[in-house]
Structure 1
Amino acid sequence: IVTGAGGKAFSAGADLKKTVPRRPGGAGVEIARVFQPRGASSLDDGIHVWKPIIAAVDGYCLGAGLTLLSVTDFRIASEKSVFGLPEVRRGIFPTLGATQRLYRQLPHAIAMEVILYGDNLDARQAVQYGLVNRVVPSAEVMPMAREAAARFTSGAPLTQRAIKESVVRGHGLPLEDAIRLESMLAFATRQTADFAEGPKAFAEKREPRYQGR
Structure 2
Amino acid sequence: MNDEGFTNIRYEKRDAIAVITITREQALNAIDTRTSQEMYRAWCDFRDDESLRVAILTGVGEKSFSTGMDLVATARGENQFEGGRPVPFGGFTKRLPIYKPIIAAINGYCLAGGLELALACDIRICTPDARFGLPEVRWAIMPGAGGTQRLPRAIPQAWANYMILTGEQIDAETALRIGLVSHIVPKEELMDRAMQIAGIICERGPLAVRAAKEAILRGMDMPLDHGLAFEDLLFTRLFASEDAKEGPRAFAEKRKPNYRGR
TM-score of the alignment, normalized to the shorter chain, above 0.5:
yes
Cα distance in 1, alignment partners of residues 227 and 69 from structure 2: 36
More helix by share: 1
**Matched residue of 2:94: which SS?**
helix
Structure 1, unmatched stretches of 5+, are: 23-28
Identify the match of residue 56 of structure 1 among 76, 86, 105.
Answer: 105
Partner of 2:234: 185
CA distance in 2 between counterparts of 1:92 and 1:40 reads: 20
Structure number, greater radius of gyration: 1
- CA 1:200/1:117 → structure 2, altered by over 3 Å: closer, same or farther? same
The 4+ residue runs of structure 1 with deviation greater than 4 A are none
Give the aligned partner of residue 41 of structure 1.
88
Q: Which of 153, 176, 199 is the equivalent residue of 1:150?
A: 199
1:73 aligns with 2:122: yes
Q: Which secondary structure does the structure 2 equivalent of 1:45 belong to?
A: coil
What is the rounded CA distance, in whole Å, between the counterparts of 1:165 and 1:30 in structure 2?
28
Residue 144 of structure 2: which of 83, 87, 95 is its match? 95
Amino acid at match of 1:6: G
Scaled by the length of structure 1, the TM-score of the pair is 0.89
Structure 1 letter corresponding to 2:117: L
Within-5 A mapping of 1:1-213: 1-20=56-75, 33=83, 40-42=87-89, 43-46=93-96, 48-213=97-262
**Larger RCO (CA under 8 A, 6+ residues apart):** 1
How big is the shift at 1:21?
8.1
Residue type of the alignment partner of 2:190: V
How much has 1:140 moved relative to structure 2? 1.3
Q: C-alpha separation between the residues in 1 aligned to 2:186 and 2:114?
A: 20
Higher mean alpha-carbon deviation, 10-19 vs 124-133, is at 10-19
Measure, in 1, the Cα distance between the counterparts of 2:247 and 2:86.
Answer: 40
Distance 2:233 2:81 in 1: 41
Identity %: 43
Instruction: Tell me, in whole angstroms, the C-alpha distance in 1 between the residues paired with 2:76 and 2:188.
Output: 41
Superposition TM-score, scaled by structure 2 size: 0.73
Q: What's the Cα RMSD here? A: 1.9
Number of aligned residues: 202
**In 1, Cα distance between equivalents of 2:155 and 2:253:** 44
The CA distance in 1 between the partners of 2:152 and 2:250, in whole Å, is 42
Q: Which runs of 5+ in 2 are unaligned?
A: 1-55
1:26 is matched with which residue?
none
Whole-angstrom CA distance in 1 between matches of 2:58 and 2:228:
34
Cα distance in 1 between the residues matched to 2:138 and 2:118: 21
Distance 1:211 1:65 in 2: 35
- 1:45 offset after TM fit, Å? 2.9
Aligned to 1:25: none
Deviation string, structure 1 residues 83-138 (Cα, Å, up to 9, x no partner): 11111111111101111111111212211111011000100000000000000211
Q: Secondary structure of the residue that 1:83 maps to in structure 2?
A: strand
Name the CA distance, whole Å, in 1 between partners of 2:261 and 2:61. Answer: 33
Deviations 1:145-167 (A, max 9, x none): 01100100000000110011111
